[in-house]
Amino acid sequence: MTKLFGTDGVRGVAGERLTAELAVALGRAAAAEARAERPQVLIVRDTRESGPMLEAALAAGVAQGGGDALIAGVLPTPAASILVRKLGLDLAAVVSASHNPWQDNGIKFFGADGRKLSDEAEERIEAAVAGGASADGGTQVGTVRDLHGALDDYLRALESAFPLKLDGLRVALDCAHGATYRAAPAIFRRLGAEVELLGADPDGRNINDGCGSTHPEALAEHVRFNGAAIGFAYDGDGDRVIAVDGEGRVRDGDELMALIATWARERGALRGGLVATVMSNFGLRTAMEEAGIELAITPVGDRHVAAELIERGWNFGGEQSGHLIWSDFSPTGDGIAASLLALQALDGRDLAAAIPMTRLPQSLVNVRVGDREALAGAEAVWAAVEAEEAKLDGRGRVLVRPSGTEPLVRVMVEAPTQDECDAVCRRLAAVVERELA
């Protein structure tokens, strides 16, 4: 059986790799993994066309496994982490493929502590699915029911953690036609902001389509020409955020981390240092050195960031892509919470002037390949990487890695000028394509 779990749950084209039958099996196995007499399992989803089908199948599997499935409907992924703890449930499941196109979908799980399940727990679920685990042996069948009030519970948690007064602030929000399309405008309006909405009319197929955190250009143009003070773009499931300053310039997760970390350090709210990943810009490292903030680097993936935060006892970290974890609120990335935290850090200042870092020019190319795992043994690729690093001679860096969720190899280059970045990236991408496509 092909390995099910990637770096962020089980993903694939809905109806092909990710079928209703697989969702039933995953629900049944997850109910067993919860290890409760009658596990209570929360299920949320994003706005994809395949979401209701997979939600229903997953709930059926939970019930067949003897658990009670509580269906909360469309909510951001981080709401699952908040609600599973607030309501004292045993497990939460999210039906979403995050920033992927609408044809894809996914299923990921959170434990009773609000954290994503460990690799070991996912391996046990995968083994149970592969072994054809069933409800035989006298297991009592559970129930499936709607959970009312889940959105309000999530909004109250945000309002309590971030008691901001945003009266009169014009905020533009791009919800990617995804899971934040109700929650994001609702919390900003509760806090007094004047909200201008983009990407808030989901039809099942327009999620992440030219909008949201992976395509912030529309938001940047809106802010630039309509005079909003700031903009925030979320991804399809709402665990990422990218900002746009009042001048219409896109500000990524690195820049938001630099802002928040230095603000929190000045106020004694930063425990330890900052956790970032290998994808973070060299400018973030420089800014943290200048601020006297220790920086820990992990592999790509918010799972690695979260694990490092736990190991060190720190409370803030994230990724350039906009996964930001403020563990005083939640142990997982939350795009809306990160937006509110950034506004706290700004304290009325303009984002363009407040960010305490200068980015080194960066280029990133995603090369579609036949087998992303083959990268490890691609000697010609690594020889080309070594040659390009030698040419840079400490003036920048090269990072080539496989995607954890898609058949892609990511080629990232940082150098003193954008032209040099682009040239190195093109040369390396050509080698990757020749060797692995």
Render 25-91 in DSSP notation, one character per residue: HHHHHHHHHT-SSS-EEEEEE-S-TTHHHHHHHHHHHHHHTT-EEEEEEE--HHHHHHHHHHTT-SE
d(CA 306, CA 311): 9
* Closest to 287 in 3D by CA, of 313, 309, 312, 254: 254
Partner residues linked to 170 by β-bridges: 194
The answer to whether the CB of 208 falls within 8 A of the CB of 101 is yes
pLDDT of residue 32: 94
Catalytic positions are: 98
Dihedrals φ, ψ of 157, to 5°?
A: -65, -40
pLDDT of residue 116: 94
pLDDT of residue 420: 95
The answer to whether the CB of 282 falls within 8 A of the CB of 263 is no
pLDDT of residue 8: 85
Residue-wise pLDDT for 94-122, tens only, equals: 999 999 999 999 999 999 999 999 999 99
Q: Which helix (H) or strand (E) holds 256?
A: helix 253-266
Which residue type occupies 339?
S
CATH class of 362-436: alpha beta
d(CA 391, CA 417): 14
Q: Residue ranges per domain, the chain?
A: 5-148, 159-249, 251-354, 362-436
Over 90: is that where the pLDDT of 428 sits? yes
Mean pLDDT score, 177-194: 98
Q: With bands split at pLDDT 50, 70 and 90, how would you rate the model's confidence at 132? A: confident
CA angle 429, 431, 436 (to 5 degrees): 95
Partner residues linked to 68 by β-bridges: 40
Comparing 5-148 with 251-354, is the CATH topology the same? yes
Eight-state DSSP code of residue 18: B
d(CA 171, CA 398): 36
pLDDT of residue 135: 45
What architecture does CATH give domain 5-148? 3-Layer(aba) Sandwich (3.40)
d(CA 342, CA 351): 9
Residue-wise pLDDT for 10-65, tens only, equals: 999 999 999 999 999 999 999 999 988 999 999 999 999 999 999 999 999 999 99
The answer to whether the CB of 72 falls within 8 A of the CB of 43 is yes
Q: With bands split at pLDDT 50, 70 and 90, how would you rate the model's confidence at 137? A: very low
* Closest to 23 in 3D by CA, of 11, 39, 38, 41: 11
CATH topology of domain 251-354: Alpha-D-Glucose-1,6-Bisphosphate; Chain A, domain 3 (3.40.120)
Percentage of residues in the chain having pLDDT higher than 70 = 98
The CATH number of the domain covering residues in 159-249:
3.40.120.10
Q: Say what the pTM is.
A: 0.90
Contacts 24+ apart (CB under 8 A), 297-302: 300/7, 300/401, 300/404, 301/7, 301/8, 301/277, 301/404, 302/8, 302/239, 302/332, 302/333
Please give the C-alpha separations between residue 263 and each of 25, 184, 266, 291, 321, in angstroms, as whole numbers.
46, 24, 5, 10, 21
d(CA 81, CA 292): 32
